[in-house]
Structure 1
């Protein structure tokens, strides 16, 4: 019996498998990869062969018993108990799409929820065959003489100059309504398309904010723009209050995890869309997000009208939610109509990695003590310049009870703690105290001042998760030894 070459699509890779003619009784199962999805095999009924030893991260599964076609076939088979992790034959049946796919933990796999998908499948035990399955996406079979084997296309790597893990947090509240919600999805789709999504480029996911937040899909679920656009289109409107702060916290804590597809060393970004105003506290949520190393962008649309301003908890919520109110992390569009011209500028911001400096490693995870020279040689006017310099540095940080902390010590031959790390937890209070520091005047003993600060200011903070920095502002040479205390300070910080 002659063989036929049949192309099978698996994760964008064309597999050439040596099979017997369709309809023959002795047909063997089609060998697929760990991550081949239901939508990659467009048949009403087909027998496939899953490889063994698949990594769990390749099992993206949505639903239970009936699975969204975007799910991994082998992952669904293990989830349902049709096969074990050692692989085996599986029979796949195509089914219509559903409104909801439930999340169930079974056989070591946690499936995910999904709201609406256009097609489904289910799995049962398949027919055994002689075809050997592997985790590779290329067959070792040779084509018959005179037939050229098709070239295996490469997966799209995406825009390598824009590596970022991005969550789009869309507004699904009654504030926006169904019509503007659809326009919002259209805009997000255009942004996703221009980003250049790919295996080596940006990865994106989607979260909907409403009464209760819902993660629509994760970073790991799709690595092509086509699949992302389709997934965005399928998202349904939820309604309810615009609890954007609650959704932002949920995104920071539950979305950006290694299990959900976060990559090491890649900037984490959440783009928050707000139509009108949030119903809850978004400033605190922004601080929490930065504690989790997430850069927060706010895209505000259609500012509240005068009659609605009384419902807004804080008119300046945008500037307070982002890490720096310099305009880079905030973006305003007057309406959802004619938004095409806003796509490229937003994409350029999201790809400007050198300005992504809002994570916990930067503006809100440090303890900074300023050691200020108050000796006679400085003089009152220069001392005021020193205080202005210290204030300008402090302004750049997110000072809070869970963020950056500032302390100040003035020294001559003596030392005076102007305020410690735990005295003030708002930027306004810290800046006010710095402005009112009184000039001491006297000699210069920098070494003693370093030892004093390490012992009395940093000592009580030894269990703090923040990194410690000592900034010395002085005008000249000390009368005592500086190297010894400085070395001891370095050792104490280890």
Structure 2
């Protein structure tokens, strides 16, 4: 999935102001993330090389900003047994954090990576200082082969939505490293410990899926499909066919993509939940067997019904990217705004696809942005579904919009600005608002106007409804 770059911005808008955007590199560091270093302290590592591991960790720390609302770092060392050095929320002062790294003493002993992975998984939980729902990373650094089995423990930690990078030095078992990270792209092998000083340059903090229109590698996706009487039976079959095409282009399973389908008309009906099928042939058969409901079009009720099916109790994997894809040909018979906002406030990416006479404004209200709303003339166009939906975390490029941020506009309202130009400032802010997701867990907007004296127009948490905010 695309990089999640989260920024807090202060815009100063005055008559002569300008903005410069600086593009972050492909291997840039995250701004909001939980990162645990799992470092090998076994006897096969010389003391001077263990110091180089610590130095690499310290270099990484020096290049980032830390705190409860920024990046959090934890370190776990392992040999025969693992040992917590410090958990994610223990230090938010960089100087204290660097001192804690410096004071780590090598364990010595064997190399039981499987046991260390099992020990580590819980330290991403909120009870141990983790922040499930934001990006979480595990960076394993080892020079050897594990003395115990790693595959089940590695799969369990990835199933929690944790992005795992495995870095091997010298004689480390490369195949085992790939088993741990789950991907060649997230496995690195260097000749010596001196190369670790550039760890931040070789690791890309992204949620795999760099291209617009590309298919996700790890995601929970629920299709919410309109089965009302306004959809002709042959067109309902085309909706199913589009989903089958999408399934055929992806890899499925507990550690890859999971698909669920909910059909709605007057009432919603679960066809199958996210973790029900991990065999592609069985999944395709289940789609083929879906029978159209007929009835009205209560999209709001369907959205409220759907939200719980992204929870872990219903097969969802909170912490990885989760998507809802709505497909409808009509206008809802009930209210959609509150239900749509609730589902987006859970961190879900919502795409709304309308066919024919569907209400476009309502679709935008549901998805939360024009960029995630699509309107096509007929059901035949759905066959290209995967080509126009971008499975990314909405910030692949410099200048893209934040997903979670507090933003205050500080705008010049002095007499030097003509009234028509002041209206243009307001119009620019309205455009910005329309392009973002607004709410307590997404983007919050505040405005302060100044001239001789400053004046608070509204503070950050005052409005979480986009329509009210625009007004």
TM-score scaled by length of structure 1: 0.44
**Which structure has the bigger radius of gyration?**
1
TM-score scaled by length of structure 2: 0.46
Could you say which structure has the greater relative contact order, defined with CA pairs below 8 angstroms and 6 or more residues apart?
2
